[in-house]
Structure 1
Amino acid sequence: MILLCPPGVYRAQSDTQLLAGHLDRHVTGRNVLDLGTGTGALALTAARAGAASVTAVDLSWRCVAATRLNSLLHRTAATVHRGDLFEPLGGKRFGVIVANPPYVPSTGPVLPRHTAARSWDGGPDGRAVLDRICDGAADHLDPDGVLLLVHSEVCGPQATVDRLAAAGMVADVVDSARIPFGPVMRSRAGLLERRGLIAAGDRLEELVVVEARRG
C-alpha cells in the first residue's frame, strides 16, 4: 500500500508490517481503533480486511491530516481524531484495538510533542506510552475484544504481559521478528548498552506482537 508521508510523520516500517499481518484474523466485521495512527497504515489495513468501522487517533495534527488524506486517496472510510490516546473517545468501545506506540528508550522522561521524535521516544525505559495503553485498553474494549500491539524487546515483553494482567487482561506474545537496528536505534546503541538494555555490540532488535483479551 502506497501512503503519503509528509515530513514529521512516522513512515510505516517493519514493526507496522509485523503487526499488520495479524489484523486479518481479528478485524472482519468489528469496530477497530488504531492508536497513534501516523500515516494511517494500520487503520487502512483494517478497513481493507473488512472492519465494520475504523477509528484512528493521533496526537499530531500532521498525522491526522496524513491519515485523512490517505483514507481519501485509497477510498477508505476512517474517522480520525486528534488527541492523546483514548482521550477523544469518551466511553466508546471497540472490538479490536491496534497500536504501534513510541517505544525507543530516550534520554529523559519528557516526551517531545512538536518534533518527529514523538513518534518513537518512549521515555527512559521505552514504556511511557506503552504502559498507558496497557492500563487503558480494557476500558475501551468490547467484552470479547482484542488488543494487538507491537514493540521492541528492549521494553520487556514480559513487563507488557504483566501490566496487561494487572489491568484484567490475558496476554501473550504471539509473534516476533529479529531485524537490524534502524537509524534511531543505531543512534542510541551506546545509551542502550550503558543501561543494560542490549548486549555490547548487539545491533539486532527483536520486535514482538502482543495479543491480549479481557479476562
Structure 2
Amino acid sequence: MVLPGVYAPQEDTALLADALADEALPVAAAVLDVGTGTGALALEAARRGARVTAVDVSWRAVCTARLNAARAGLPLRVRHGNLFTPVLGETFDLVLTNPPYVPSPHGGRRPRGAARAWDAGHDGRLLLDRICRQAPGLLRPGGVLLLVQSALSDPGSTVGQLREAGLKAAVTRRQRIAFGPVVRGREGWLRHRGLLSATDNEEELVVVRAERPV
C-alpha cells in the first residue's frame, strides 16, 4: 500500500533489498530502516526475524509503514522523526537507508511534499553527509550500514567519509537504470553541471556497505 505523497518502492529499493538478502543477520538482530517510506525494506528484515525500527520524517510514510506492517502481520516499530533523532542512544546490528540523493537545481531550499523523498541539495549530499557522520555511532561491533544512492551524488565521498569514521566501506552493487521522471526533468541542468555527460542516457545506482570492525 502506498498512500499519496509517499515514495513508492522502485529500482533503488530493489537494489538495497538484494543487498539485505545477502547479509547474515544475527538471531533477533536489531535493524534500523531510516527513511522507511512504505516500510518495504523494514518488512523484508522483519520477515527474517529481526527486531526492526523504521523511521521517517513524513507522517504519511509513518502511517503507510504501520498499515503495511499490520497487513503483513509483522511486528514493526515505526517512529516519526528526522533521520536518527528518534533512536538516539540506541545501537543496531544493521542500518538500512534509501535517503534523498538527487542533486537539485533548487539548492538549499527546503523540499516540500513528495520531493522530500528525492531532492537533496545542490550536490545531492544534503542528507548523505549527515548519515556518514551519524550512522557509525549507531552500529554495534560487527554492525553493518547498507546505503543506496546515485552515482550523481558522489559515492566516493560516502565511502571516504565512512572509512574516516573507522568503518570498512566499499561500493558492493551497481545498477544502471533508465532516467526516471525526476532526473529526466532536470537532465539539462545535470548535463550543464557535468554530472551527466553528453552521451549518458542512464543513471547508475550503487549500494555502499560499511561495517564496524569487531
Which bracket does the TM-score occupy, shorter chain normalised? over 0.9
Q: Do the aligned residues in 2 keep the contact of 1:32 with 1:97 (CA within 8 Å)?
A: yes
Aligned counterpart, 1:46: 45
Q: Do the aligned residues in 2 keep the contact of 1:36 with 1:58 (CA within 8 Å)?
A: yes
1:15 aligns with 2:15: no
Aligned counterpart, 2:210: 212
Q: How many residues align?
A: 210
Structure 2 unaligned residues grouped into runs of 5+: none
Q: How far did residue 131 of structure 1 move?
A: 1.1
| Deviation >2 Å, runs of 4+ | 24-29
Aligned counterpart, 1:110: 109
Aligned counterpart, 1:189: 187
Question: Using the alignment, how far apart are the partners of 1:111 and 1:180 within structure 2?
Answer: 27
Question: Using the alignment, how far apart are the partners of 1:110 and 1:32 within structure 2?
Answer: 32
Aligned counterpart, 2:134: 136
Aligned counterpart, 2:60: 62
Q: Do the aligned residues in 2 keep the contact of 1:169 with 1:214 (CA within 8 Å)?
A: yes
Aligned counterpart, 1:6: 3
Percent identity reads: 53
**Matching residue's letter, 2:55:** V
Q: How far did residue 134 of structure 1 move?
A: 1.0
Per-residue deviation, residues 98-132 of structure 1 (Å, max 9, x unmatched): 000000001211232x4100000011010111111
5 Å-filtered alignment, 1:114-125, equals 114-125=112-123
TM-score in terms of structure 2 length: 0.95
Question: Using the alignment, how far apart are the partners of 1:24 and 1:203 within structure 2?
Answer: 29
Q: Do the aligned residues in 2 keep the contact of 1:34 with 1:42 (CA within 8 Å)?
A: yes
Question: Aligned-residue CA RMSD in angstroms?
Answer: 1.1
Aligned counterpart, 1:163: 161
Structure 1 unaligned residues grouped into runs of 5+: none
Q: Do the aligned residues in 2 keep the contact of 1:145 with 1:213 (CA within 8 Å)?
A: yes
Q: How far did residue 157 of structure 1 move?
A: 1.4
Q: Do the aligned residues in 2 keep the contact of 1:186 with 1:203 (CA within 8 Å)?
A: no
Aligned counterpart, 1:25: 22
